[in-house]
Amino acid sequence: MHSQPDDPGGPSRRAFLIAGGTAVVAGAGAGVGVELSRHEPRPRASAPPPPPPAELVNALAAERELIATLDASIPTAPQVRERLTHIRADHAAHERALAAAVRQVSGPSTAPTASGTPAAAPIGAAELAGAERGAAQAAAARAARLTGRNAVLLASIAACEATHAELLR
């Protein structure tokens, strides 16, 4: 025969331990859930991209101005037309690289367009050499204010423009 507990109406020791363990686990789980929901990152409104560094924007505008000057000057300088055409191609490459750098920093719709560049008056080879020297110095100064690949890009452009100045001497 089985013996029966002295108090058949009360909870057994096993039931008490199971209920207590379940309460502890449930309480801990609820506490963890509350803590996680408190620290869970909330979806933020999409922040606008940062503006590109002024040095990149200014360098891009300077390249576009040089291109406009070359476009005006090439037809009036038959003695150096071939040289100016090659120099213009370099400036077009600089413009593409700078526009890509601006887009990389700020997103695809932020690179200023060339439509704001006014038409330039033609100038002679000596004046173009001076413009190239000035552009090289400005690009080098901009590069010094940047770091990383943008500084390298502008330093490379400065070196190329210094070469253009020598070719036009």
The pLDDT assigned to 134 comes to 97
Concatenate the DSSP letters of all residues of 95-160 into one string. Answer: HHHHHHHHHHHH-TT-SPPGGGPPP-----HHHHHHHHHHHHHHHHHHHHT--HHHHHHHHHHHHH
Q: What does each C-alpha distance from 112 to 56, 116, 117, 146, 147 come to in angstroms? A: 11, 8, 10, 19, 22
- What is the mean predicted confidence (pLDDT) over 36-52? 67
Average pLDDT of every residue of the chain: 81
Res. 52: pLDDT tops 80 = yes
Please report which confidence band the pLDDT of residue 45 belongs to, taking 50, 70 and 90 as the band edges.
low
The pLDDT assigned to 28 comes to 47
> Residue 42: in which H helix or E strand, if any?
none
The pLDDT assigned to 107 comes to 75
The pLDDT assigned to 58 comes to 96
Res. 41: pLDDT tops 60 = no
Q: What is the pLDDT of residues 128-153, one digit of tens each?
A: 999 999 999 999 999 999 999 999 99
- What is the mean predicted confidence (pLDDT) over 50-61? 94
Res. 7: pLDDT tops 70 = no
The pLDDT assigned to 156 comes to 97
CA distance 92 to 114: 11
Q: What is the pLDDT of residues 89-136, one digit of tens each?
A: 999 999 999 999 999 988 765 555 555 677 889 999 999 999 999 999
Domains of the chain: 54-167 (1.20.1260.10)
CA distance 145 to 156: 14
